[in-house]
């Protein structure tokens, strides 16, 4: 039997919410206000949405990560929150002939997380080139299949079921994910995906270390709306890996991955968590 490294646990609550531009979600009764501790960003390889759906012109968007700590109260403790937002950098086009879907992966294995601390953004260091290329193709095919199955005349695309990772990703990534069919409100740079830790004592830095070392694989798939079911235009897809790479003045430094020296014997490959499908209205 193989002995893979333990997948990092879903230690927090994931939510799709509106947030301030700096990635903070106000807490009722919290004191003092949230403190921005660490940040990160990565370019997302997108398609120029102003061109014909049968022509692909590459452009860049950006995903941003802000990690903050909320003091619930001195007697109760703090919450560590990771907030992710997407900025189209002015490239979003209303009523475009392009569909855009983004997938945030929630669970990267601990050994892959260790490897990914120097990831340049293409996910090769984290997951390996073979995994990145094959899984991106598999995901793009699943989204295309969902598009084909959409009822003719419908203005919304069926949400895809994200396939399990291929063998090349084994013991490095699970398919637990959040899928968002993008509309204009999701690409304005504000934080919409929030990952909150349980309340913990301020002296316990484990949640902070987990948040600042976590790797977030993100796949952006865009397809031109042409032909039957708007499914014959070209499709582009690319995976990028987002992580914290800078801390604010006075914040704790980004350290090592918690529990990196520990690995657990597991006898089956299991997906930890549940895929959450969130359909954003095309505004």
What confidence score (pLDDT) does residue 144 get? Answer: 84
Q: Considering the entire predicted model, what is its pTM?
A: 0.80
Identify each DSSP E strand in 141-266 by its residue range. Answer: 177-181, 188-196, 216-224, 235-242, 246-247
Residue 156: predicted pLDDT: 56
Q: What pLDDT is stored for residue 75 in this prediction?
A: 77
Across 54-68, 176-190, 248-262, 267-281, least confident range: 267-281
CA 27, 67, 271 angle in degrees (round to 5)?
A: 100
Q: How high is the pLDDT of residue 160?
A: 78
The alpha carbon of residue 50 and the mean position of all alpha carbons in its chain are separated, in whole angstroms, by 25
What average pLDDT does the chain have? 78
- Write out the two tokens for 138: 């598999």
Contact, 235 vs 223, CB < 8 A? yes
Residue whose entry in the numeric block shows the structure tokens 């990952």: 195
Q: What pLDDT shows up at residue 33?
A: 53
Which segment of 16-20, 38-42, 179-183 scores lowest on mean pLDDT? 16-20
Backbone φ and ψ for 123, nearest 5 degrees, come out as 75, 0
Residue % of the chain over a pLDDT of 90: 45
Residue 63 contacts residue 240 (beta carbons within 8 Å):
yes
Can you tell me the mean pLDDT for 89-99? 88
pLDDT in tens, 235-281: 899 999 999 998 887 788 888 898 765 433 332 222 323 333 343 33
Does residue 5 register a pLDDT over 70? no
Closest CA to 132 of 149, 115, 157, 144: 115
Map out the domains of the chain as residue ranges.
13-278
Confidence check: pLDDT of 34 > 50: yes
Of these ranges, 72-76, 92-96, 166-170, 179-183, the one predicted with the greatest mean pLDDT is 166-170
Helix, strand, or coil (residue 148): helix
Q: Residue 117 and residue 74: Cα distance in Å, rounded?
A: 32
Q: Which residue has the higher pLDDT, 19 or 99?
A: 99
């Amino acid at each position: 039997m193989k002995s893979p490294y333990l997948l990092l646990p879903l230690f927090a609550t994931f939510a799709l919410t509106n947030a301030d531009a700096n990635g903070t979600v106000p807490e009722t009764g919290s004191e003092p206000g949230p403190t921005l501790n660490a940040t990160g960003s990565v370019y997302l390889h997108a398609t120029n949405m102003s061109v014909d759906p049968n022509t692909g012109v590459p452009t860049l968007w950006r995903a941003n990560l802000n990690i903050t700590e909320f003091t619930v109260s001195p007697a109760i403790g703090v919450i560590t929150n990771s907030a992710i937002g997407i900025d189209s950098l002015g490239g979003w086009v209303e009523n475009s002939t392009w569909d855009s879907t983004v997938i945030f992966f929630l669970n990267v294995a601990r050994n892959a997380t260790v490897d990914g601390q120097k990831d340049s953004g293409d996910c090769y260091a984290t997951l390996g080139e073979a995994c990145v290329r094959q899984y991106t193709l598999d995901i793009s095919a699943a989204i295309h299949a969902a598009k084909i199955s959409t009822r003719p005349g419908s203005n919304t695309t069926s949400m895809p079921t994200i396939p399990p990772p291929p063998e090349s990703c084994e013991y490095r990534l699970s398919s637990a994910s959040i899928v968002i069919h993008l509309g204009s409100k999701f690409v304005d740079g504000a934080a919409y995906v929030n990952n909150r830790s349980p309340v913990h004592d301020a002296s316990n830095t484990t949640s902070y270390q987990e948040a600042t070392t976590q790797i977030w694989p993100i796949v952006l798939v865009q397809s031109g709306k042409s032909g039957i079911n708007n499914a014959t235009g070209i499709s582009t897809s690319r995976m990028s890996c987002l992580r914290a790479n800078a801390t604010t003045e006075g914040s704790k430094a980004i350290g090592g991955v918690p529990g990196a020296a520990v690995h657990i014997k597991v006898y089956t490959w299991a997906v930890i968590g549940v895929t959450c499908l969130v359909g954003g209205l095309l505004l």
